[in-house]
């Protein structure tokens, strides 16, 4: 019955509901409690009412066929999620009551923006529009085009009183995070992308505590306090957590390998995998298109990023740093301000050149200068002592990186709570092949046509835009006991239009996507298994709580 109701809501939607541009409306009769603040969304009761009016449980069950998780926080279920949060369970009667108490202006039309063009997003926006209409809230939805940063994330000059630089009421968006800090640092009043939330001193103080320790358990306590503050005050409206799906064929055995977030790098123990294919080949997607993707933003999004390169340390399937990789051992000072990495002896690049400590120094300095580098890595590298002087061309090297033989000591100017996580994610690159090249245009370097790493597999053959083949690196420092000798990669980006076709042809052994339709299709293919994976990927509404509407005086 619930599914039929939702489908009916979608079918009754007219094209006019998605016309671009905000509608002209009459000035509302404002409630004295929020009139001075310039927007109805400044009233907590209205923000809560909008959430109580949405039946996310039914939306997850129907629109997403159960392949998503209803959200009560930015943080996904697990050990990082706070207990006792208000789940804002569907309650249209309470929503109506709160709106009446807050004197919701019935002639106000919420301006809601989104930037995804897929049908699932359009359906979701349509359904939410109908839910709000049922409690007397009018809303217009429009898709943004062009420079999204300028339209979404420009904060006002006055972080206390506004007015806002953006004019919409709510924005449907997503945040994919490697670390919890990426979820919550953006709510600090000084954050460069905090365009919706006026300064909240209590929230600022709680966020600051999450950045004062590198101890994971202490971080969890601090983040749970942040979650409770945001939840109680409905500063944002979490909707659902997107899942990832890993697909494996009956021709491979992962030998106990774990499933994790394949946007990032974690130890898959691929050298222990076995295949029943006589030639030792396994098949996957996300192979090179015009080039091999440089691992600057999502360092494990393409399988080759993980197996061509090594990191200083390993991370497990939960993206928790574990043991050494290129570093045979490492230590962190009690205050988190210094890390010592003792590198393995005898490691070679795929071209036979020796791996050295200078490669570590070079890689950190090179990555620091790459535009668009993931925020976690930027924070780590820029926190190293002397990083800014290096960027300002006042020194030839980052002074906080000291080399003594095969030992690399890294000293920080300020604590970075995710430094070890960074060193488990971003690879070490060959200085002998990239030295002197321009990091600003790194992806354009010819090196990424045929990259050389130290990892367990190396490039064997590449036809860009068609396929790539990797072969086992017999000189690797860990041998493994599996029989996978080659990896065939179909050229594709994350959303692979040919994934199902290749799987139906028996030529996919390991792949992943975040696409619900892919997961549904894969589940119906004989010999394929689908494993849902909980990742830090949350869809939500940002609510603009600064004065921003011309209709409010």
Q: Domain boundary at 454, 478, 499, which?
A: 454
Main-chain dihedrals φ then ψ at residue 111, nearest 5 degrees: -100, 110
Sign of CA dihedral 357, 363, 368, 373: negative
Give yes or no for a contact between 222 and 210, defined as CB atoms under 8 angstroms apart: yes
Residues 438 and 324 in one domain: yes
Co-location of 170 and 47 in the same domain: yes
Q: Are 74 and 143 in a shared domain?
A: yes
pLDDT for residue 38? 80
Residue 283 sits in the same domain as residue 392 = no
357 shares its domain with 469: no
Cα-flanking dihedrals φ and ψ of residue 196, to 5°? -125, -20
β-partners of residue 110 are 139
Tokens of 481: 């006991």
Q: Which of 428, 454, 480 is the last residue of a domain?
A: 454
For 1, residues 6+ apart whose C-beta sits below 8 A from its C-beta are none
520 in any annotated domain: yes
Report if residue 180 sits inside a domain: yes
Q: Is residue 333 located within the same domain as residue 450? A: yes
Residue 233 belongs to some domain of the structure:
yes
DSSP-based three-state secondary structure for 525: coil
Please state, in angstroms and rounded to a whole number, the distance separating the CA atoms of residues 347 and 351: 12
pLDDT tens string, the chain, 553 residues long: the values are 455 455 555 444 433 344 444 444 444 444 447 666 788 999 999 999 999 999 999 999 999 989 999 999 999 998 999 999 999 999 999 999 999 999 998 889 999 999 998 888 999 999 999 999 999 999 999 999 999 999 999 999 999 999 999 999 999 999 989 999 999 999 999 999 999 999 999 999 999 999 999 888 999 999 999 999 999 999 999 999 999 999 999 999 999 999 999 999 999 999 999 999 999 999 999 999 999 999 998 899 999 999 999 999 999 998 999 999 999 999 999 999 999 999 999 999 999 999 999 999 999 999 999 998 999 999 999 999 999 999 999 999 999 999 999 999 999 999 999 999 999 999 999 999 999 999 999 999 999 999 999 999 999 999 999 999 999 999 999 999 999 999 999 999 878 889 999 999 999 999 999 888 899 999 999 999 999 998 999 999 999 999 986 444 4
Please tell me the total count of domains within the chain. Answer: 3
Return the structure tokens found at 103.
Answer: 């004197």
Q: Which residues of 379-409 are buried (b: 16+ CB within 10 A; e: fewer)?
A: bbbbbbbbbeebeeeeeeebbbbbeeebebb
User: For residue 467, is it within any domain?
Assistant: yes
Parent domain of 128: 2-13+31-242+537-543
pLDDT of residue 89: 97
Judge if 160 and 262 occupy the same domain.
no
Quick one: 261 and 327 in the same domain?
Answer: no
pLDDT value at position 36? 65
Residue 550 lies in a domain: no
* Bond into 396 cis (ω within 30): no
Provide the pLDDT for residue 495. Answer: 80
Residues 75 and 172 in one domain: yes
Is 21 among the domain residues? Answer: no
> pTM for the whole thing?
0.84
Q: Are 40 and 46 in contact (CB under 8 A)?
A: yes
Determine the pLDDT at residue 460.
97
449, 461: one domain: no
| Token pair recorded at residue 167 | 């004019």
CATH of residue 319: 3.90.76.10
The CATH number of the domain holding residue 62 is 3.10.105.10
**pLDDT of amino acid 8:** 55
Q: Are residues 288 and 360 in the same domain?
A: no
Q: Which pLDDT does position 506 carry in this prediction?
A: 96
For residues 145 and 151, what is the distance between their CA atoms, to the nearest angstrom? Answer: 9
491: domain CATH number?
A: 3.40.190
Dihedral sign (CA 473, 477, 481, 487): negative
Other Cβ atoms within 10 Å of 98 Cβ, number? 23
End-of-domain residue from the set 454, 489, 514: 454
Residue 305 lies in a domain: no
Domain annotation covers residue 551: no
**Cβ distance 207 to 187 under 8 Å?**
yes
Q: In what order do the strands lie in the sheet with 327-332?
A: 327-332, 338-343, 407-411, 401-404
DSSP assignment of 257-285: PPP--TTS-----GGG-EE--TT-EEEEE
User: At CA 419, angle to CA 417 and CA 423, rounded to 5?
Assistant: 155
345 and 274, same domain (yes or no)? no
Q: Which two tokens stand for residue 291?
A: 């080039």
- pLDDT at residue 117 in the model: 87
Rounded CA gap, 69 and 57, in Å? Answer: 9
């Amino acid at each position: 019955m619930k599914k039929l109701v939702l489908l009916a809501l979608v079918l009754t939607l007219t094209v006019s509901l998605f016309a671009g541009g905000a509608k002209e409306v009459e000035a509302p009769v404002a409630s004295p409690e929020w009139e001075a603040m310039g927007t109805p969304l400044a009233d907590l009761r209205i923000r809560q009412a909008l959430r109580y009016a949405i039946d996310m449980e039914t939306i997850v069950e129907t629109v997403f066929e159960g392949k998503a998780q209803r959200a009560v926080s930015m943080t996904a279920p697990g050990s990082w999620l706070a207990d006792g949060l208000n789940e804002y369970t569907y309650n249209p009667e309470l929503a109506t009551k709160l709106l009446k108490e807050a004197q919701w202006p019935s002639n106000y039309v919420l301006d809601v923006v989104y930037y995804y063009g897929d049908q699932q997003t359009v359906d979701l926006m349509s359904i939410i529009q109908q839910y709000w209409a049922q409690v007397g809230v009018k809303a217009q939805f429009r898709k943004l085009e062009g420079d999204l940063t300028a339209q979404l994330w420009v904060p006002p000059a006055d972080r206390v009183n506004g007015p806002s630089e953006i004019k919409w009421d709510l924005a449907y968006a997503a945040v994919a995070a490697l670390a919890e800090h990426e979820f919550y640092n953006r709510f600090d009043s000084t954050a460069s992308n905090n365009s919706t939330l006026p300064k909240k001193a209590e929230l600022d103080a709680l966020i600051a505590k999450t950045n004062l320790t590198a101890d994971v358990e202490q971080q969890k306590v601090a983040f749970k306090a942040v979650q409770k503050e945001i939840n109680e005050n409905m500063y944002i409206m979490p909707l659902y957590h997107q899942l990832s799906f890993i697909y494996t064929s009956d021709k491979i055995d992962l030998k106990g390998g774990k499933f994790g977030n394949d946007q990032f790098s974690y130890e898959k123990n691929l050298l222990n995998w076995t295949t029943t294919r006589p030639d030792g080949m396994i098949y996957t997607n996300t192979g090179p298109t015009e080039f091999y993707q440089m691992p600057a933003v999502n360092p494990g999004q393409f399988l080759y990023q993980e197996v061509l390169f090594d990191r200083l340390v390993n991370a497990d399937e939960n993206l928790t740093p574990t043991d050494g990789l290129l570093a045979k051992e490492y230590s962190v000072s009690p205050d988190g301000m210094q890390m010592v990495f003792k590198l393995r002896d005898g490691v070679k690049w795929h071209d036979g050149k020796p791996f050295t400590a200078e490669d570590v120094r070079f890689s950190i300095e090179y990555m620091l200068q790459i535009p668009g580098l993931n925020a976690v890595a930027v924070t780590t590298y820029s926190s190293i002592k002397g990083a800014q002087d290096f960027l300002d061309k006042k020194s030839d090297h980052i002074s906080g990186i000291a080399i003594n033989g095969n030992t690399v000591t890294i000293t920080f100017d300020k604590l970075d709570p995710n430094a070890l996580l960074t060193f488990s994610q971003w690879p070490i690159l060959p200085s002998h092949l990239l030295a002197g090249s321009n990091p600003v245009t790194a992806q354009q370097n010819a090196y990424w046509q045929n990259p050389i790493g130290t990892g367990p597999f190396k490039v064997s053959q590449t036809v860009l835009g068609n396929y790539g083949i990797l072969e086992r690196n017999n000189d690797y420092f860990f041998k493994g006991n599996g029989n996978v000798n080659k990896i065939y990669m179909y050229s594709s980006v994350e959303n692979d239009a040919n994934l199902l076709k290749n799987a139906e042809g028996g030529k996919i052994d390991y792949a992943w996507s975040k696409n619900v339709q892919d997961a549904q299709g894969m589940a119906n293919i004989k010999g394929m298994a689908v494993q849902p994976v909980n990742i830090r990927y949350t869809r939500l509404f940002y609510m603009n709580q600064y004065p921003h509407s011309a209709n409010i005086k």
